[in-house]
Amino acid sequence: MPALKVPRTEAEPVKRKLKKLNLYGGKRRPKREGDFVLLPVLDDPGVYGLGYEVLSIELPLRPERQIYKNLESVLAERLTPEELKYLRRYDVIGDIAVIQIPPELEHRVDDIVWGLRKVHPFIKVVAKKGFHEGAFRIRDYSIIWGEKRLTTVHKENGVEIKVDLSRAFFNPRMKGERYRLAQLVKDGERVLIPFAGVIPYVLVIARYKNVKITAVELNEEAYKIGLENIELNRKRLKGEIESIHGDAFEVLQELPTFDRVISPTPRGVDALALTLSKARKWLHYYDFVHEEKIGEFRERILDECRRQGKECNVRIKKVSDFKPHVFKVCADVKILE
């Protein structure tokens, strides 16, 4: 069985690329070897053209439960094919499984809980997901099984993130995005992250890069959990973190400019002019945009650059689906010298 020998720092993006190309050998486990990771790949000529050494090695097989049992296949035992069509994507945050249950499956809640526990035997809570509410973007959850709590510690990108879903926003699906940005940041940079939440972006970047990061968050609960997260990860962080509790629209006026600004902008908030005005070299600006309006969004950013007397290159990256035809996007804005 072949394996791709990849530098540790590149393992995650290469794994994602392999999965996209259908070349990843998911039945086996990757293995760490010093500064490298051996990624299991399929016996396919495609794996030889990727620019990495291909080794012939027997990587250990994953336990069967992990290979074959996804929620849909497990629930096929209990739900009809018609009902299975309504099954939504779910998240596992620490030991909490979070799932949206549409009205068509309300009568199947017990089966869904049974399926989730079968696929993820370690979970201690199953919560039903409502919608994001208010400026702090906190969702409305109801616990449908297990311990009566919405706090947990989620592991991602080499850091531990304390989360309290009842008090602060957290989205585990941004894991790849956080990793991407951590790779873009250079040692020695000063980075500003408004709308920082429980500071997942801050932690992942500070984990990998020797940088000074300033985080700003308005929700006091999220800010306090963020402080706990700094302590929780203290020993593994290369970078320094300054955390500020306050309204980004007021606090940023008092701050200097930064090499890089990362704005995980809450939906419906326009912080483009503000965040661009604080960026010297790079702005990474998140927003929600209809697929037909991506060109317009790019023009809006270029207009704002001109208005601020900055020459910019703008690249828009689709990060995730938000609703049909609407994407969460990140505008990577490079400010030219």
| Between 50 and 227, CB nearer to ligand SAM | 227
Helix axes 175-184, 11-20, angle to 10 degrees: 130
- Measure the CA–CA gap between 65 and 219, rounded to whole angstroms: 40
Q: Does 195 bind ligand SAM (CB under 6 A)?
A: yes
Question: Site for ligand SAM (CB under 6 A): which residue of 164, 217, 259, 304?
Answer: 217
Give, as ranges, the residues between 239 and 258 that touch ligand SAM (CB under 6 A): 247-249
**Buried-exposed string 77-97: b where 16+ CB fall within 10 A, e elsewhere:** eebeeebbeebeebbbbbbbb
- Centre a 10 Å sphere on the Cβ of residue 15 and count the other Cβ atoms it contains: 19
CB of 168 to ligand SAM, least distance (A): 6
Q: Helix or strand or coil: residue 289?
A: strand
Q: Does 311 bind ligand SAM (CB under 6 A)?
A: no
Question: Site for ligand SAM (CB under 6 A): which residue of 135, 253, 315, 318?
Answer: 135
| Between 10 and 221, CB nearer to ligand SAM | 221
CB of 16 to ligand SAM, least distance (A): 19
Joined together, the tokens standing for residue 41 give 């790949």
- Measure the CA–CA gap between 206 and 83, rounded to whole angstroms: 44
CB of 231 to ligand SAM, least distance (A): 18
Q: Does 288 bind ligand SAM (CB under 6 A)?
A: no
Q: Does 283 bind ligand SAM (CB under 6 A)?
A: no
Query: Parallel, antiparallel, or unpaired for β 258-263 and 190-194?
Result: parallel
Nearest 5 degrees, angle CA 23-CA 29-CA 32?
Answer: 105
- Measure the CA–CA gap between 30 and 60, rounded to whole angstroms: 8
DSSP letter for 168, please: S
CB of 53 to ligand SAM, least distance (A): 36
CB of 169 to ligand SAM, least distance (A): 4
Q: Does 14 bind ligand SAM (CB under 6 A)?
A: no
CB of 57 to ligand SAM, least distance (A): 37
CB of 111 to ligand SAM, least distance (A): 31
- Judged by CB under 6 A, the number of residues near ligand SAM is 23
DSSP letter for 59, please: P
3-state secondary structure 224-274: HHHHHHHHHHHHHCCCEEEEEECCHHHHHHHCCCEEEEEECCCCCCCCHHH
Binding mask 137-166 for ligand SAM (x = CB under 6 A): x-----------------------------
Q: Does 229 bind ligand SAM (CB under 6 A)?
A: no
| Between 127 and 198, CB nearer to ligand SAM | 198
Helix axes 200-208, 175-184, angle to 10 degrees: 40
CB of 246 to ligand SAM, least distance (A): 7
Query: Parallel, antiparallel, or unpaired for β 151-156 and 212-217?
Result: unpaired
Strand partners, 145: 126
Question: Site for ligand SAM (CB under 6 A): which residue of 24, 170, 208, 297?
Answer: 170
Chain centre distance of CA 224: 21
Of all residues in the shown chain, the one whose CB is closest to ligand SAM is: 197
Give, as ranges, the residues between 42 and 71 that touch ligand SAM (CB under 6 A): none
DSSP letter for 153, please: E
Q: Does 169 bind ligand SAM (CB under 6 A)?
A: yes
CA quadruple 254, 266, 179, 1: dihedral, nearest 10: 180
Question: Site for ligand SAM (CB under 6 A): which residue of 185, 258, 264, 327?
Answer: 264
Q: Does 197 bind ligand SAM (CB under 6 A)?
A: yes
Q: How far apart are the first and last CA of the chain?
A: 49
Query: Contact positions toward ligand SAM, by CB under 6 A?
Result: 135-137, 169-171, 174, 194-197, 200-201, 216-219, 222, 247-249, 264, 266
